[in-house]
Amino acid sequence: MKLEELKKVKLGEYPTPLQEMPHLAAKHGNKIKMWIKRDDTTGPAFGGNKTRKLEYVMADAIDKGCTAMLTYGGPQTNHGRTTVAAAIHCGMKPILVLGGEAPKYLSGNLTLDAMMGTDLYFSSDRDKAAKEVIAKYEAQGDKVYDLPTGGSTMIGAAGYIMAVKEIMDQCEAMDIHPKYLIATVGSLGTFGGLNAGVHYFKAPFKVIGVPVSPGDKVAGAVEFVNKLSDFYDLGFKITADDICVMEGPEDAPYAGEAYNKPDPLTRAAMFELAREEGIISDPTYTGKTLRGFLDMVDKGIIDGDTIFLHTGGAMAVWTKEHLDDMQQELFDNCSITEI
């Protein structure tokens, strides 16, 4: 398959803004220039990084004649919420199979999933649930597109291969010369796509990844990027030396204790971005990357101008677990006066 021939559906607004963060840079000693690539502004339904992937995924689903779009995630999946909006846009039935028990109260992304009329299924046995759900809709005459968690398929990752070109064009137009692009590492579609894009388009910056959960991500990333190169015939092969994932200090890794586990160090970074630049990040993904970014700047590990990729996710701020955990920090961070 040729990358340039791949079809896509327009779902988001591109190019997303590339903005400077002068106040945050000043707070960290003006050692480097900081930019933020606002992939949190794409839409639809508040968008985020999944939109770039879904533009290609939905075109594939339309090509295959699908009438229903099924995907997976945790109860608060941003990917799920964005996929629902994309499916609606393309006239397909949105279906989510989510982990765990059915909720009694809907908050965060689930509020929006419900508002968009999604068919929601909860199960702790994803594969079994998927089989049942697909069989149910097919019996009704639907053709179901089965999209893996995070939309990180070869087709979905094309979104972030092409994002590298968009960033290179913006840098040229703005006459800026970043040394690094820092991004969150989750299901690898974003980080893998970016790494493939940097090799394919010979970008002048290096990608640094920060993981959202503990554990080695390098081997998986190498495999994913090489698979992308084979799939699109991009003509390169990378090794572990070409992948940079920064895990942070052993006693306080950037990923925190676990995926989606509320973490005060992550929130401190989120609060800082909000106070300095008026930009909202999230406790599960971008906040962890942001904490890693600022820590690496302070320690001189990042020694050149950097673009921080904001992949969205702010909906998580309004989930009960995260709100409960940060109440005191919120009160401490502002002043509230009754007059």
Ligand X SMILES: *Cc1c(COP(=O)(O)O)cnc(C)c1O
- Nearest distance, CB of residue 292 and ligand X, angstroms: 13
Name which position in 186, 197, 253, 262 contacts ligand X (CB under 6 A): 186
Segment interacting with ligand X (CB under 6 A) among 92-100, 215-223, 241-249, 282-290: 282-290
Q: What six digits make up the tokens of 328?
A: 């005191």
Residue 54 or 92 with smaller CB distance to ligand X: 54
Across the chain, the runs of DSSP E, i.e. the strands, are 18-20, 34-38, 68-73, 93-99, 119-123, 144-147, 180-185, 206-211, 306-310
DSSP string, 59-123: HHHHHTT-SEEEEEE-TT-HHHHHHHHHHHHTT-EEEEEEESSPPSS--THHHHHHHTT-EEEEE
d(CA 54, CA 75): 19
Residue 85 or 185 with smaller CB distance to ligand X: 185
184 binds ligand X (CB under 6 A): yes
- Nearest distance, CB of residue 84 and ligand X, angstroms: 14
Map the footprint of ligand X across residues 133-152, applying CB under 6 A: 150, 152
Segment interacting with ligand X (CB under 6 A) among 14-22, 94-102, 185-193, 226-234: 185-193
- Nearest distance, CB of residue 5 and ligand X, angstroms: 23
Segment interacting with ligand X (CB under 6 A) among 26-34, 122-130, 161-169, 309-317: 309-317
DSSP β-bridge partners for residue 95: 70, 119
190 binds ligand X (CB under 6 A): yes
- Nearest distance, CB of residue 152 and ligand X, angstroms: 5
Segment interacting with ligand X (CB under 6 A) among 4-12, 118-126, 182-190, 295-303: 182-190
46 binds ligand X (CB under 6 A): no
Interface with ligand X (CB under 6 A), residue total: 20
d(CA 304, CA 34): 9
Is the sign of the CA dihedral 176, 182, 183, 189 positive or negative?
positive
Name which position in 229, 286, 306, 319 contacts ligand X (CB under 6 A): 286
Residue 282 or 295 with smaller CB distance to ligand X: 282
Of the CA atoms within 13 Å of residue 301, those in its CB half-sphere come to 15
Name which position in 254, 285, 293, 308 contacts ligand X (CB under 6 A): 285
Q: What six digits make up the tokens of 125?
A: 């046995």
Q: What share of the chain is helix, strand, coil (3-state, %, to 5)?
A: 45, 15, 40
d(CA 314, CA 108): 9
Name which position in 47, 211, 262, 313 contacts ligand X (CB under 6 A): 313
210 binds ligand X (CB under 6 A): no
Name which position in 18, 84, 185, 225 contacts ligand X (CB under 6 A): 185
Phi-psi region of 141 (alpha: psi -120 to 50; beta: other; left: phi over 0): left
Are the C-beta atoms of 233 and 267 separated by less than 8 Å?
no
- Nearest distance, CB of residue 338 and ligand X, angstroms: 36
* Cis status of the peptide bond prior to 15, with omega within 30 of 0: yes
191 binds ligand X (CB under 6 A): yes
311 binds ligand X (CB under 6 A): yes
Residue 71 or 229 with smaller CB distance to ligand X: 71
Are the C-beta atoms of 267 and 328 separated by less than 8 Å?
no
Segment interacting with ligand X (CB under 6 A) among 119-127, 200-208, 240-248, 307-315: 307-315
- Say if strands 144-147 and 119-123 run parallel, antiparallel, or are unpaired: unpaired
Give the number of other Cβ atoms within 10 Å of residue 180's Cβ.
Answer: 20
Map the footprint of ligand X across residues 48-87, applying CB under 6 A: 48-49, 78-79
Interacting residues toward ligand X by CB under 6 A: 48-49, 78-79, 150, 152, 184-191, 282, 285-286, 311-313
